[in-house]
Amino acid sequence: MAHLDLKTAWMDEVSTVIFSLGNSSFLLPIDQIVDLDGLLQPIRANAAATPMDSARFLLQENNHPPLYFMLAHVWMDLFSTDGVTASLPLSRLFSAIWGALSIPVIYWATKHTFQSQLAGVLSAAFVAVSPFSLFLSQEARHYGLAITLISLSLGYFAIATRAILTSKAPSWLLCVSWTAINALSFANHYFSALTFTAQGLVLAAIAYQQVRRDGAAVLRQSHWRRIYAVALTTAVSILAWLPVLLNFYGSPQTTFLQEEGFSLLEFVNPIAQTFAAIITSFVTPANFFAQKPYQFVFIGITIVLTLGFIVKFVPAMVRGGRQLNRDPEGHTGVVVMGGFWLAMLGLFALICYFHGSDITRGLRYMFTYYPAMMIVAGGIFAKYWQGRSPTGPLSLTIPFSQRRLSGRRFVQVTWVAGLLSALMIVNNLAFPKYYAPDRFIPFMQTHSENPIAIASTEKIFAEPTVIGAKFLSLGWEVERTFHPDEPSSGWQTPPVFFAIKQGDVVERPVTESFANMVSQFSQPMDLWVIRSEIDPDDPLITAKPSLCQLASDMPQGNKGGYLYLHFSCRGA
């Protein structure tokens, strides 16, 4: 939970904070020039807002269920002051707490999956330093909570499935708890339904085997009837959200993963991205924005070490999995949780290749099966931990050396590699934010001769739409680390901001709105437009005497993830 303020806010986190405060993104001033204070209204605490406001605005404007945002509202309300800009570290801390809670939950789920306390301890130890888990839990998003809820669901699933395999009925308390966790999981993230589907596929496979062995009458026994109750109540908890889901069908927020056409790269990408996601559950190289030679050298060294790690780690885990499968308790755990993991990979493949949506592009969606992967890894590491001899069946050779590592030493080395990766993430040396306003703001200051205006075009659709998140990430960073009142901020005069609305429900052409706004400048300005739909050759801009023209210094490009147009405006 250290250094939660080190990384800059990116647009998804801004969106989370807006709704967690019980605000609407449409509090963003539109078609008017405002100062920094006016711009940041959507991320200012509102004492009159309630958790129901969080849910209401979220469902009107976004495509996520409201559980996390309502809980986060209560959290933010405890520590925020009315009218004051939200604290980014405080927003991230709530997610980090939920991510930390996944550690004991993973221990519990692994212990029941393999009937091994050692497997549980090792699984929890690796989750504690997992780059993937740490990366998601450090964001002001709902994925820390998602990992914890999915881990709970998989724990109940493992206990219930083990009971089914021995023809014993899982307790009603377990069934009720399992159903409640599933309902909460779906109320936190719709993709949790993939987890429930994979659980159902594993149970269906077990049912098929039991029918082949004992006949169809087995499906009428009490242990299966309780599974039916869990499946039915989980389905009802999902169908309750159907009106909300239908409201978002066709929304631009739900179609960004759609691929058009087909290419070899589109076939290979999901496989490569899934493999990368699995590896980053255990180790990651440094991948920050390097500027100095020693930084490039550091990144290169970590990449080489990571590649060497992969070459030894993947075969070792496969070999350990085979050993685990030979043990009776291990075999049951592999069937239950390994079968679930394979079912999840199959569902992801169906979505990627048949629906045409590459959901592997966002590593975050691995939360649906990440806990299962770490549970299986815990079982494998427990087998290795028992091997103390460097000549045993689960020992490994050291690259470029004749020496061998014992199984226990392999587990220790792997954990240390995870710890070093975790430290890089905490210190912003790995998994940096895609958008870096802390790089873009000094860039604007360096390449501007006059006072700065920052503008954005915001698309508004008939479907639910969030506006201003990317624009506000800039303003938030200005207030956090480049505040105009600070002598070291780099501003000669405070910047001003304006957003122009466009989209299906906006009649006025965006360039006309742009011309109207810049005509209000009372002095020469350097104007930087992000998310721009502005055509710099439009007659409304190039007409004589021109209002604005592309600047001679850095007229357009990409800096810190922000695509920009840079104009010199003469002022009235």
Per-residue pLDDT tens over the stretch 270-288? 899 999 999 999 999 998 8
Average pLDDT, rounded, for the chain = 89
Is pLDDT of 389 > 80? no
pLDDT (average), residues 336-342: 94
Map tokens 């680390």 to a residue: 481
Is residue 28 within 8 A of residue 458, CB to CB? The reply is yes
This prediction's pTM: 0.92
pLDDT (average), residues 478-486: 92
**Residue 396: pLDDT band by 50, 70, 90 thresholds?**
confident
Q: Where are the beta strands (DSSP E) in 411-516?
A: 452-460, 496-503
pLDDT (average), residues 492-498: 93
Q: Of 32, 31, 15, nearest to 23 (Cα)?
A: 15
Is pLDDT of 261 > 60? no
Is pLDDT of 498 > 60? yes
Domain for residue 370, yes or no?
yes
Is pLDDT of 467 > 80? yes
Percent above pLDDT 90 for the chain? 63
Is residue 415 within 8 A of residue 115, CB to CB? The reply is no
483 and 409 in a common domain:
no
Q: What is the pLDDT of residue 306?
A: 93
Alpha helices in 280-292 (DSSP H): none
With a CB cutoff of 8 Å and minimum separation 6, the contacts of 397 are: 403, 404, 405
pLDDT (average), residues 90-105: 96
- Residue 491 pairs with which residues in a beta bridge? none
497 and 415 in a common domain:
no
Q: What is the pLDDT of residue 281?
A: 94
**Residue 218: pLDDT band by 50, 70, 90 thresholds?**
confident
Helices (H) and strands (E) in the chain, counts: 22, 8
Is pLDDT of 255 > 90? no
128 and 271 in a common domain:
yes
Domain for residue 341, yes or no?
yes
Per the structure, the complete domain to which residue 542 belongs is given by 22-64+435-569
286 and 138 in a common domain:
yes
pLDDT (average), residues 479-496: 92
Is pLDDT of 231 > 80? yes
Q: What is the pLDDT of residue 426?
A: 92
Who wins on pLDDT, 334 or 570? Answer: 334
**Residue 501: pLDDT band by 50, 70, 90 thresholds?**
confident
pLDDT (average), residues 52-57: 95
Domain for residue 250, yes or no?
no
Is omega for the bond preceding 545 within 30 degrees of 0, making it cis?
yes
Both tokens assigned to 482: 């480049």
Last-in-domain residue among 378, 402, 426: 426
pLDDT (average), residues 108-127: 96
Is residue 512 within 8 A of residue 500, CB to CB? The reply is no
Both tokens assigned to 82: 């009315």
Q: What is the pLDDT of residue 546?
A: 65
Domain for residue 87, yes or no?
no
421 and 278 in a common domain:
yes
> Reduced to 3 states, what is the DSSP secondary structure of residue 313?
helix
45 and 101 in a common domain:
no
Q: What is the pLDDT of residue 472?
A: 94
Q: What is the pLDDT of residue 249?
A: 55
Domain for residue 255, yes or no?
no
Last-in-domain residue among 399, 426, 453: 426
CA distance 517 to 474: 20
Find the range with the poorest average confidence among 135-149, 165-179, 236-250, 294-308.
236-250
420 and 366 in a common domain:
yes
Domain for residue 286, yes or no?
yes
46 and 115 in a common domain:
no
Domain for residue 12, yes or no?
no
Who wins on pLDDT, 345 or 251? Answer: 345
116 and 45 in a common domain:
no
Q: What is the dihedral of CA 103, 104, 110, 112, to 10 degrees?
A: -160
**Residue 506: pLDDT band by 50, 70, 90 thresholds?**
confident
Q: What is the pLDDT of residue 383?
A: 93
Last-in-domain residue among 391, 426, 461: 426
DSSP at 369: T
186 and 325 in a common domain:
yes
pLDDT (average), residues 325-333: 90
Who wins on pLDDT, 404 or 421? Answer: 421
- Torsions phi, psi of 558, nearest 5? -135, 125
Domain for residue 72, yes or no?
no
What is the count of structural domains for the chain? 2
Is pLDDT of 219 > 90? no
229 and 351 in a common domain:
yes
Percent above pLDDT 70 for the chain? 94
Who wins on pLDDT, 70 or 463? Answer: 70
Q: What is the pLDDT of residue 527?
A: 94
Q: What is the pLDDT of residue 508?
A: 76
422 and 325 in a common domain:
yes
Q: Where are the beta strands (DSSP E) in 87-129?
A: none
pLDDT (tens digit per residue) in 290-306: 888 898 999 999 999 99
Q: What is the pLDDT of residue 374?
A: 96
Q: What is the pLDDT of residue 356?
A: 81
